Amino acid sequence: MNDNQIVTSDPAVLTEAEKTQVSSVVTTIVQLIKDKHL
Amino acid sequence: MKSVLISTDLVMKQDGTWTPTEINTNTSHEMVIKNFDSESSEQFIDNFGQYVNHVELNQFLQTNNITTIKTIDVKAGFHRVIESFCKYYSGYTYEFNEVSRDSITVPQVEDGDGVLIIRIAYDSYAVVDDLYARDNYEFHNLIKNETFSSPVTFNIGTEDNLDSITTFEASVDGVAPNYVVKRRTPGGSKGQYPILYRLNSQEQLDNLKLSITQDEFIQKYEFNQLSLIDNRTNFIRSMDLLYGPTLEVFNLLTYKAKNSVSTQNNVLVYDSEVDENGKLNDLFSSKYYPKVVPNYSVSYHFDETDFILMADGTDLQATNLILNQQVKSIYFNEQVMQYQLTDVSNLTTFNIDSASVSSIKEAQSGIFINITGITNTGIEYNWYDGLNNYYLSQKANESTAQYNNTTAGDIEIGDKIFIYNKTTNSIDTITIQSITFDIKNIQTYLISLEVEKREFFVKLLNESDPNEMYLIQHNGGCDANCGYFYSCENWDKCNYCNKNNINCPACNAWISSYVCNSDCRLKENIVSIGKSETGINIYHFNYIGQDGLYEGVMAQELLDTKFEAAVIIGEDGMYKVDYSKLDVKFKKLN
C-alpha cells in the first residue's frame, strides 16, 4: 500500500496492553451508565 | 437473555492512552472479509478469527447454557459474524430478525431458557441508545470526570453546558488538526461533518466556540504520530455485549480501523490547507479523518459550464438538456465497448450515430478530478470530472487502449485520453500533464442514453484551438443483463431500466454507474463454475432471500490482487464490484 492509494485495508489487531486499557475504559463507561440508571 | 451490542470508538491521545469519542448501538464492522462462504464452517476463522474473542464467546455461551442465538439487525449487517460463529461452533441454533436501516424500534423477539438475544439495532426506548449513543452531550457529560476523557465544548444554552476546552493547544506538529466540530446528534447533510480545524491562537479558539450551534460541539482533535499505521490515522473499535438485567460486559471483538487516505498522500492538491478561520480544506481533512473517501465521491458527466454535442451537430448548454433529446453518439467495436484491452489501431474505425437521452440524474458534492492535458497539436485543455468516471485511454509506452476509471491511480500523468475531433471527424488524443483532486459542492448531472454501448460527447473548451474537440463520455445507461450499466438508488427500482429488484438486484444506494453489489455477504448458494481468462473465479449464486440465479464474482476475492481497484465499499459497508474493469460479465441467468 503506497501513500497515494485511496483504499480500505484489513484492520489491525490490538496489543494485549491496548486491549486491557480499552476494556477498562468500556467497563468504566458501562459502570457510569449503571450508576445513573440501575 | 437479552443483550445489546455497543461499539465504542477510541483514538490515541498525546500521552499514548486511548480516549473514547462516541458509543453506538446500530453498529457494524470494518473487517475486510475474504473468501467468505456462508456454508463453510472454516470461513469464520479466516475472516474474523484474529479479531473476535470466539473461544471466550463459546465459553461464555456454555457457562450461561445458551443454545440459541437470535440477532436483531439490518440485512447484511454485523449479524453475519455471529451467524458465521454459529456455523464454526456447531451446536448453536441461529435466528436472524431483520430491521430496516431507518428503524428506531425493534421487533418483539421471544426470549427463553437457553436463548441469547443480541440487539444490533437502534431502539429509541433503550437508555443506552437514546441518551448516550444518540446524544454526544450526554455521553461526554457522563465521562467528563474520567482521566480518559478528552476536552469538548458544547453550547446547549443552559447552565448544564459542558465546556472543558479552556486553554488553547496548538497542533502537535504544526500540520495536523487540533480541533474538530461534530454534530451533537445524528443528522446533517452528507459530508458536512466532521469539520476539522487547525487553530493558531486562543482568539481563534474563542471565536470557534462562539460560532457553534446547539446541535454542534467541538472536540479536541487527538493526534499522536506514534499511532499511525501505514502513515494512516486510525481508531480502535471495541464491540461489547451488554447483557442481562445488570448490564454485564462481554468483549466480543476489538480492532483498529485505518483511514483510506494516507497522511502522506501527495496527489490531493488544493490551493490552501486552511482558511482565515482555521478551517481545514475538505480534501486535506480526508487525510486525518477515517472515512472512506470513495463513498464521498461522484461520477458526473456535466455541470452548468459544459456543452453537449447534439445529433444535429450543434452544441447545447448541458443544463438545457432534456429527456428524449437526440445527442450525437459514438460506437467503436464490441471489444472496445466491453472495456477490454484493444490495439489503438482499432480506434480509427468507429460509427457516429445519435441516441436519445433516457435519463438525467442529479448529483452533487464530492471529490472531483481535475485534469490538464495537451493535444498532439500543442493545445492545452483543462477540465473537471467525477472521480468515478471512465475514459478511453492508453497507458504511456503501451500500444493498447481501454476504458479506465479515473479513481486515484488508474489514470496517470503521461497516459493518453482519446477524444473526438469534430472538425476532422477523427479520434485524437490528449496527453495528461497533471491530475489533481478537489472537493466541490456543485450541482452535477449524469446522463444515460437509451442505447447501450453508445458514448456521447462533452465539449472541451479552448478558443485557441481551431478544431472542435470533445471528451468521449461514458454512457451510464442500464442493461440489467450485462452488468455494466447499473445505476440505481434502491433495491426496489432501477432508475434507468425501471425494472424491479428481481431484475436489477445489483442496484443499491450508490450513485456511481457500472457498479454491482458483489459482496459475498449478500449472496448464498454460491457455486464455483470456473475462471475468467485473467484468472478471476466466476460463481453462480442468488442474493439472500431473493429469487433469481446470477453469475459474477466475489468482491472479497479481488482484494489484495491486481483487480483490487474494481472493488468499492458502499455506504452500507458492502463491497461492490465495477465489472467494467474485469473480464467477467455480471449476468442474470434466470
CB contact under 8 A, B236 and A28: no
What is the reported pLDDT for B408?
56
Q: Is residue B505, in this structure, part of any structural domain at all?
A: no
Is residue B60 domain-shared with residue B102, that is, in the same domain?
yes
Suggest the residue from A8, A13, A22, A34 to mutate for an interface test with chain B (most B CBs closer than 10 A).
A8
Average pLDDT over residues B497-520: 38
Tell me which of B418, B447, B473 is where a domain ends: B473
Cell numbers placing A4: 497515494
CA distance A36 to chain B (A): 9
Residues B25 and B88 in one domain: yes
Answer yes or no: is pLDDT of B513 > 70. no
The Cα of B470 is separated from the nearest Cα of chain A by a number of Å equal to 29
Whether B8 sits inside 8 A of A25 (CB atoms) is yes
Q: What pLDDT was estimated at residue B567?
A: 77
Judged against a pLDDT cut of 90, whether residue B152 lies above it is answered with yes
Which residues in chain A are contacts of B20 at CB distance < 8 A? 25-26, 29
pLDDT at B56: 97
Question: Would the CB atoms of B260 and A8 count as touching at under 8 Å?
Answer: yes
Residue with cell 477490454: B340
CB contact under 8 A, B293 and A6: yes
**For residue A33, what is the enclosing H or E element?**
helix A16-37
| pLDDT the model gives residue B520 | 60
In this structure, the number of other CB atoms found within 10 A of the CB of residue B160 comes to 9
Whose cell is 471512465? That residue is: B390
Residue A26 contacts B where some CB pair is shorter than 8 Å: yes
In a domain, B301, yes or no: no
Angle between helix axes B79-88 and B54-63 (nearest 10 degrees) is 80
Amino acid type, B125: Y
| Local confidence band at B295 (pLDDT 50, 70, 90 cut-offs) | very low
pTM of this prediction exceeds 0.80: no
The answer to whether residues B318 and B429 belong to one domain is yes
Which tens digits make up the pLDDT trace of B430-469?
999 988 877 777 888 888 888 777 899 999 999 999 999 9
Residues of A in contact with B292 (CB under 8 A): 8
Same domain, B324 and B451: yes
CATH value at residue B344? 2.170.16.10
pLDDT at residue B291 tops 80: no
Q: State residue B551's pLDDT score.
A: 81
**Arithmetic mean of pLDDT, B149-153:** 98
* Band of residue B46 on the pLDDT scale cut at 50, 70, 90: confident
Residues B191 and B312 in one domain: no
Q: Where are the alpha helices (DSSP H) in B249-323?
A: 282-285
pLDDT band at residue B518 using 50, 70 and 90 as cut-offs: low
Contact status of A18 with chain B (Cβ, < 8 Å): yes
> What's the confidence (pLDDT) of residue B566?
78
- Considering its fold, how many domains does chain B have in total? 4
Taking contacts as CB-CB distances below 8 angstroms, the residues of chain B near A10 are 31-32
> Is A21 within 8 Å of B18 when comparing Cβ atoms?
yes
Given CB atoms, is A3 within the 8 Å cutoff of chain B? yes
Which residue of B231, B266, B569 is in closest CB contact with A8?
Answer: B569
Task: Give yes or no: residues B530 and B422 share one domain.
Answer: no
Q: Which of B87, B89, B75, B86 is nearest to B120 (CA)?
A: B75
Chain B touched by A8 (CB under 8 Å):
yes
What value does the mean pLDDT take over residues B328-334?
Answer: 92
And the C-alpha cell for B44? 469464520
A22·B8 Cβ contact <8 A: yes
Q: What DSSP string runs through B128-142? A: IIIIIIT-HHHHHHH
Q: Is the pLDDT of residue B376 over 70?
A: yes
Per-residue pLDDT band for B286 (boundaries 50, 70, 90) equals confident
Q: Which of B32, B236, B260 sits opposite A6 (nearest CB)?
A: B260
Q: Do A6 and B261 touch (CB under 8 A)?
A: yes
**Tell me, what's the pLDDT at B421?**
97
What residues have CB less than 8 Å from B536, skipping those under 6 apart?
B553, B557, B558, B563, B582, B583, B584
For the cut 70, the answer to whether the pLDDT of residue B545 exceeds it is: no
Averaged pLDDT for residues B280-293:
78
Average pLDDT over residues B197-222: 97
Least confident of A22-36, B12-26, B73-87, B158-172: B73-87
ipTM for the complex shown: 0.98
Q: Are residues B282 and B313 in the same domain?
A: no
Would you state the pLDDT for residue B506?
Answer: 37
Residue B419 has pLDDT above 80, yes or no: yes
* Listed residue (A35, A31, A29, A11) closest to B19, CA to CA: A29
Question: Which residue from B minimizes the CA distance to A8?
Answer: B260
pLDDT score of B485 more than 60 = no
Q: Do B254 and A8 touch (CB under 8 A)?
A: no
B488 located within any domain: no
pLDDT at B487: 34
Asked whether residue B287 falls in the same domain as residue B427, the answer is: no
CB contact under 8 A, A4 and B127: no
Distance CA B100, CA B73 (A): 8
pLDDT in the model for residue B517: 55
- B281 and B318, same structural domain? no
Q: In this structure, are residues B164 and B151 in contact, taking their beta carbons and an 8 Å threshold?
A: yes
User: Is a pLDDT exceeding 50 seen at residue B294?
Assistant: no
State the pLDDT confidence band at B110, using cuts at 50, 70 and 90. very high
Cβ neighbours of B267 in A, within 8 Å = 4
Q: In the prediction, which pLDDT does B404 show? A: 78
Q: Is B476 helix (H, G, I), strand (E, B) or coil?
A: coil
| Chain A residues touching B33 at Cβ < 8 A | none
Q: What's the CA gap between B358 and B473, in Å, rounded?
A: 15
Which chain A residue shows the shortest CA-CA distance from B126? A37
Decide if B292 and A8 are in contact by the 8 Å CB cutoff: yes
**B489, burial (CB in 10 Å: exposed 0-12, middle 13-18, buried 19+):** middle
For residue B265, pLDDT over 50 is answered with: yes
Which segment of A21-25, B196-200, B441-445 scores lowest on mean pLDDT? B441-445
Mutate which of A18, A21, A29 to test chain B, going by most B C-beta atoms within 10 A? Answer: A29
In this model, does residue B368 exceed pLDDT 90? no
Q: At residue B479, does pLDDT exceed 60?
A: no
Of the candidates A5, A11, A23, the beta carbon closest to that of B256 is on A11
A11: nearest CB among B10, B31, B260 = B31
Confidence tier at B52 by pLDDT (50, 70, 90): very high
A34 contact residues in B (CB cutoff 8 A): 246-247
Each residue's pLDDT tens digit, B127-139: 999 999 999 999 9
Task: Decide: B298 and B330 in contact? Cβ < 8 Å.
Answer: no
With beta carbons under 8 A apart, name residues in chain B contacting A4: 262, 265-267, 408-409
Residues B188 and B311 in one domain: no
Percentage of chain B surpassing pLDDT 70?
83
Give chain B positions within 8 Å (CB) of A36: 142
Tell me how far CA of residue B496 lies from CA of B325, B452, B509, B568, B585, in angstroms.
16, 11, 14, 21, 19
In a domain, B176, yes or no: yes
Which of A6, A14, A21 lies nearest to residue B256, judging by beta carbons?
Answer: A14
CB distance from A35 to chain B under 8 Å? no
Selecting from A8, A23, A32 the residue whose C-beta is nearest the C-beta of B32 gives A8
Strands B575-578 and B515-517: antiparallel
Contacts of B255 in chain A (CB under 8 A): 11-14
Contact yes or no for A22 and B266 at CB 8 A: no
User: Rounded to a whole number, what is the distance in Å from the CA of A20 to chain B's nearest CA?
Assistant: 11
pLDDT at B49 over 50: yes
Query: The C-alpha cell of B117 is what?
Result: 438475544
Domain-located, residue B320: yes
Range of the domain at B204: 151-221+261-291
Q: What is the mean pLDDT of chain B?
A: 84
> In terms of CA atoms, which chain B residue is nearest residue A19?
B254
pLDDT at B289: 86
Cβ distance of A1 and B127 shorter than 8 Å:
no
User: Which one of B450, B473, B496 terminates a domain?
Assistant: B473
Between A and B, how many CB-CB pairs are < 8 A? 115
How far apart are the C-alpha atoms of B262 and B178, rounded to whole Å?
A: 18
pLDDT at B253 over 50: yes
**Confidence class for position B386, pLDDT limits 50, 70, 90:** confident
Tell me: pLDDT of B38 over 60. Answer: no
Does any domain span residue B584? yes
The answer as to whether B231 is a domain residue is no
Asked which of B147-156, B158-167, B391-400, B441-450 is least confident by mean pLDDT, the reply is B441-450
Residues B411 and B545 in one domain: no
Label residue A36 by pLDDT band (50, 70, 90): very high
Query: What is the percent of chain B with per-residue pLDDT over 90, rounded to a whole number?
Result: 53
- Does residue B305 come out as left (phi exceeding 0), alpha (psi in the -120 to 50 range) or beta? alpha
Residue B262 CB-half CA count within 13 A: 16
Say what the pLDDT of residue B334 is: 83
A27/B249 Cβ within 8 A: yes
pLDDT of residue B290: 59
In a domain, B254, yes or no: no
d(CA B190, CA B419): 34
Number of C-beta neighbours around residue B549 at 10 A? 13
pLDDT tops 90 at residue B525: no
- Domain match, B95 and B158 both: no
The pLDDT of residue B500 is 33
Q: Residue B298: which pLDDT band, with cuts at 50, 70 and 90?
A: low
Closest by alpha carbon to B146, among A19, A27, A34, A38? A27
Q: Are strands B68-73 and B93-98 parallel, antiparallel or unpaired?
A: parallel
